[in-house]
Amino acid sequence: MDFCEQQKEAAQIRKDMSAAHSLIMDALSRYKKKKLGARSKKLAEDMKLLFADLEIYESKVDIQNAYGYESISEKEYYRLLDLWDKREQYMDESGRFTDRVSEMVLAVLPMIGTEYFDFLDQAKEMNDENERNIKEAGAIIQKSAYEHYQRSYMSGKEG
């Protein structure tokens, strides 16, 4: 496999690992919501009513991105961050849902893609080596051009 193919494959593996993480976290989130609903419908209903504006955001980073892309105003940005913090506090006071299944899933999550770590390390090393070679080649070309310029200048043939 040549360098370009290896780098494309490494990028695809990283993308797939990220998609797998997102898929699992989404499934875990749905599982927890289901369990929360079974445990306390009132809590789930209260959360939905009180924090409906946060439904489309999965994290504070999503809110920050929306503000960065000017999808929301500065005032809305701070209001949503404040609402996010209040929701976190509300959930802490209500008792976060956790069970053995959730703990097992979270324990397995870091293991996703471990079978590709060697390949990704090799691709990174190859990329780093390629960047070093490019810098070295650039330095050699620059030195050669400077020497050529000096020779031309010394012999009176500038240009």
pLDDT score at 44: 66
* Best CA proximity match to 108, nearest among 19, 6, 20: 20
What do you get for the CA distance between the two ends of the chain, in Å?
A: 44
* Best CA proximity match to 107, nearest among 24, 4, 14, 16: 24
Q: What is the mean pLDDT of each run of 10 residues along the chain (159 residues)?
A: 89 90 87 73 72 85 87 91 87 71 87 89 91 92 88 69
pLDDT score at 34: 79
Rounded CA separation 95/102 (Å)? 15
pLDDT score at 82: 92
pLDDT score at 157: 57
Give the start-to-end residue ranges of the domains of the chain: 3-112, 114-159
Q: Global pTM? A: 0.49
pLDDT score at 79: 92
pLDDT score at 94: 66
Half-sphere exposure of 9 (CA within 13 A, CB side): 16
User: Are 132 and 68 in contact, with CB atoms under 8 Å apart?
Assistant: no
Helix, strand or coil for residue 73? coil
Chain centroid to CA 11: 13
